[in-house]
Amino acid sequence: MTMPVRTAQYGFAERWLPRLVLAPSFVLTLVFLYGFIVWNGYLSFTTSRMLPNYEWAGLAQYITLFDNERWWVAVRNLVIFAVLFIGGAMGIGVVLAILLDQKIRFEGAIRTIYLYPMALSFIVTGTAWKWILNPGLGIEKLMHDWGFTQFTFDWLVNSEMSIYTVVLAGLWQSSGFVMALFLAGLRGVDDSIIKAAQIDGASLPRIYWKIVLPALRPVVFSTLMVLSHIAIKSFDLIMALTGGGPGYSSDLPATFMYSMAFTRGQMGVGAASAMMMLMAVAAIVVPYLYSELRKDGNG
Amino acid sequence: MGALAIKNVTKTFGDTQILKGINIDIESGEFLILVGPSGCGKSTLMNIIAGLESPTTGEVCIADRAVTNVAPKDRDIAMVFQSYALYPTMTVRQNIAFGLETRGIAKAEQNEIIARVAKMLQMDHLLERKPAALSGGQRQRVAMGRALARNPKLFLFDEPLSNLDAKLRVEMRVEIKQLHQRLKTTIVYVTHDQIEAMTLGDKIAVMKDGVIQQFGRPQDIYENPANLFVASFIGSPSMNFIPCHLIEHDGELGVSLQGMASPYFISLAGRPNLRARLGEKITLGIRPEQLDVAEAQSSALECKVKITEPTGPDTMVYTEVNGVEVIARVHPRLVPPTGQSIKLVLDMKKVVLFDPVTESRI
Ligand SMILES: Nc1ncnc2c1ncn2[C@@H]1O[C@H](COP(=O)(O)OP(=O)(O)OP(=O)(O)O)[C@@H](O)[C@H]1O
Ligand SMILES: [Mg+2]
């Protein structure tokens, strides 16, 4: 007689406990993430300036945004940064991973050294590189002190080149991470596949290019996802390294949004630019999620 | 013509010597089996033959050419791996074509070769599939096809069947044997399965701890094992090893076997090198099929049937002699019920003797 009762109680707890535990974080996410996204979306259609207001303005803020030259600089910078950062981090990371995969000595130590920058926040990275690249303090000064007085390296203060210093610091920070991801993937590849390819007469680059890397497609994919994420939401690195300057030459959409919404009293334009960024992220993530979820559904 | 010669090859990883002076010499067209327990260095030796590892000392010759410092691709070999090692993102066709492509063989000829190999291994219908969509047996076939496509001087097989189920293993074994008889290419084949070793090999090298224990033809190794290890490793069920004392009885050297009744003396007269061991311990080795049920009258070794294990054609009878388990392989009709006694006679011509201390053959 007692058995069914106990089963029922157990069943009740089993059914409701996970939901209860998840509920607070679910509510918080709903309000503070999706709620604020919706709010921001609404603000982008209002005349908000210093403070939010709810006077409908239609697409006026978007028109202002698209007329703003600074926005287009930020977008152009994002394209440059994203392409060089993602491409560079992938390239460097893969090459490092392949080199480390050749059963070299002190691998553990080397791996830690390369991975270490990832442990720093972008603020620290940005500040450190600001000093390194500062013509009066860093590399240029060092070369001058050594007697190479012709040497100039002024990217940080050159509005043509400042965005490339951001790329440089970003690569320094993230390449080791990509390397770690790929190294884990490479370790998963059966050794005898490489041996078979050696006997087949393929050179090492060809083995990796034709056989090993194609087998690591999932790693390539998730690494791309992570890197594009980092690229689009890059904010702290810019703030610490160049502050968007000189002028607004190294602005990215995230820093643009921040200065519009919070320092220049253009909340509506800021909200509109935030929506543009959201759409850019969605354009990448949604197809990815869709394909992943569909795979789960089938499998 | 020498197809493969391995001369004094040693291999050391760190401080441990894995191969301790290997010497093997086989003729063109021969099927060499490397057999031994796990970890004895078979794969290491194979990798050295393939050039994937270099020997610490010693020399490897393939087709009468010293290749110790030649890259794997220039050794004119093909290898089939235990894990098949198919290229996972390529179709079967591309898997086979890859090696041909790197060797700069023209597209038309590639297709010709692929068609020939696919026909030979009956895998035409698999050519456009990826390895993930193949069964274990089919992957095995593709791996062999990839090796065959190149028509090398020497085939290397590293435990190619160990991931297959029992039935498929038997089928593939026969197929490999047929293939060898047709192509007459020299093959080196690693296994830890003694049945594969016996059935496939022209020559067997039995390895243990990086040393070749015995090298010879399967039947020789079966009948004249060089030591206790080889005797116990080759043959299934394993050879029986009965501990005895060498005694003298009526002027004849021999040993006494204790079943369930009175001791039974068997004469070892006429065997050389025994006299000096009088009174010492020796190990008598006899295979299960060399024990037979005695005719009604003759004197025999009487022992108790502990377990019977019918296999169909024969029945394995488990008994006890001199305190150790002894298995006899007898005709099912002659098997008494469990618990009763059975009278056994030994085929004295086949009995082998070992020194229990050095474990080598007397
Ligand atoms: N690269 C290596 N570094 C250190 N030790 C190794 C290396 N490769 C193999 N060994 C050791 O050498 C010994 C023999 O290995 P090997 O792979 O040749 O065995 P095997 O006879 O093929 O065994 P199995 O039947 O399990 O495949 C093992 O003890 C192994 O740990
Ligand atoms: Mg092995």
Does residue A162 belong to any structural domain of this protein?
A: yes
- Interface probe for A, chosen from B47, B48, B80, B81 (most Cβ of A below 10 Å), is B81
Q: Residue B158 is part of which domain span?
A: 2-233
Residues in CB range of A295: below 8 A, 6 or more apart: none
- Say yes or no to pLDDT of A294 above 70: yes
pLDDT tens by residue, A146-198: 877 777 777 777 777 788 888 888 888 888 889 889 988 988 888 899 999 99
ipTM: 0.81
Indicate whether B227 and B252 sit together in one domain: no
Give dist(CA B149, CA B109) in Å, integer: 11
Confidence at residue A129, expressed as pLDDT on a 0 to 100 scale: 82
Q: Closest Cα of chain B to A224: distance in Å?
A: 20
Last residue in a domain, options B233, B261, B295: B233
Does residue B362 belong to any structural domain of this protein?
A: no
- Interface probe for B, chosen from A186, A200, A213 (most Cβ of B below 10 Å), is A200
Does residue A102 belong to any structural domain of this protein?
A: yes
Helix, strand, coil shares of chain A, percent, nearest 5, are 75, 0, 20
Sheet holding B315-321, edge to edge: B307-310, B315-321, B324-330
Residues in CB range of A163: below 8 A, 6 or more apart: A77, A80, A81, A249, A250
Confidence at residue A176, expressed as pLDDT on a 0 to 100 scale: 85
Confidence at residue A10, expressed as pLDDT on a 0 to 100 scale: 66
Q: Which atom of ligand 1 is nearest to B210's Cα?
A: 14
Q: Does A233 touch chain B (CB under 8 A)?
A: no
Indicate whether B30 and B109 sit together in one domain: yes
Q: Closest Cα of chain B to A291: distance in Å?
A: 19
Does residue B83 belong to any structural domain of this protein?
A: yes
B-chain CB neighbours of A198 within 8 Å are 52, 71-73
Confidence at residue B47, expressed as pLDDT on a 0 to 100 scale: 93
Confidence at residue A299, expressed as pLDDT on a 0 to 100 scale: 40
Three-state DSSP class for B53?
coil
Query: Nearest ligand, CA of residue B47?
Result: 1
Confidence at residue A8, expressed as pLDDT on a 0 to 100 scale: 54
Indicate whether B287 and B191 sit together in one domain: no
Last residue in a domain, options B204, B233, B262: B233
- B18 close to ligand 1 (CB < 6 Angstrom): yes
- B11 close to ligand 1 (CB < 6 Angstrom): no
Cα-only R_g, chain A? 25
Q: Residue A140 is part of which domain span?
A: 68-298
- A190, A192, A198: residue with CB nearest B72: A198
Chain B neighbours among A 131-190 (CB < 8 Å)? 190
How many beta-carbon pairs under 8 angstroms link A with B? 60
Does residue A131 belong to any structural domain of this protein?
A: yes
Confidence at residue B97, expressed as pLDDT on a 0 to 100 scale: 92
Indicate whether B295 and B327 sit together in one domain: yes
Three-state DSSP class for B293?
strand
Residue type, B64: D
Indicate whether B103 and B75 sit together in one domain: yes
Distances (CA, A) of A47 to A103, A268, A270, A278, B236: 62, 6, 11, 20, 90
Hey, which bits of B144-202 come out as E strands? 154-158, 186-191
Indicate whether B149 and B203 sit together in one domain: yes
Q: Closest Cα of chain B to A23: distance in Å?
A: 41
pLDDT greater at residue A145 or residue B28: B28
Backbone angles phi, psi at A245, to 5 degrees: -95, -175
Contact B362, B274 (CB under 8 A): yes
CATH number, residue B267: 2.40.50.140
Confidence at residue B61, expressed as pLDDT on a 0 to 100 scale: 92
Does residue A231 belong to any structural domain of this protein?
A: yes
CATH number, residue A279: 1.10.3720.10
- Give pLDDT tens digits along chain B (362 positions): 678 999 999 999 989 999 999 999 999 999 999 999 999 999 999 999 999 999 999 999 998 899 999 999 899 899 999 888 999 999 999 999 999 999 888 999 999 999 999 988 888 898 999 999 998 888 988 999 999 888 888 999 999 888 888 888 888 899 899 989 988 999 999 998 888 999 999 999 999 999 999 999 999 999 999 999 999 999 888 999 999 999 988 888 899 998 887 888 888 888 888 888 888 999 999 999 999 998 876 778 889 999 999 999 999 999 999 999 999 999 999 888 998 999 999 998 899 999 999 989 98
Number of domains observed in the structure of chain A: 1
Confidence at residue A229, expressed as pLDDT on a 0 to 100 scale: 81
Indicate whether B244 and B181 sit together in one domain: no
Number of domains observed in the structure of chain B: 2
Does residue B274 belong to any structural domain of this protein?
A: yes
Does residue B42 belong to any structural domain of this protein?
A: yes
Does residue A27 belong to any structural domain of this protein?
A: no
Indicate whether B263 and B334 sit together in one domain: yes
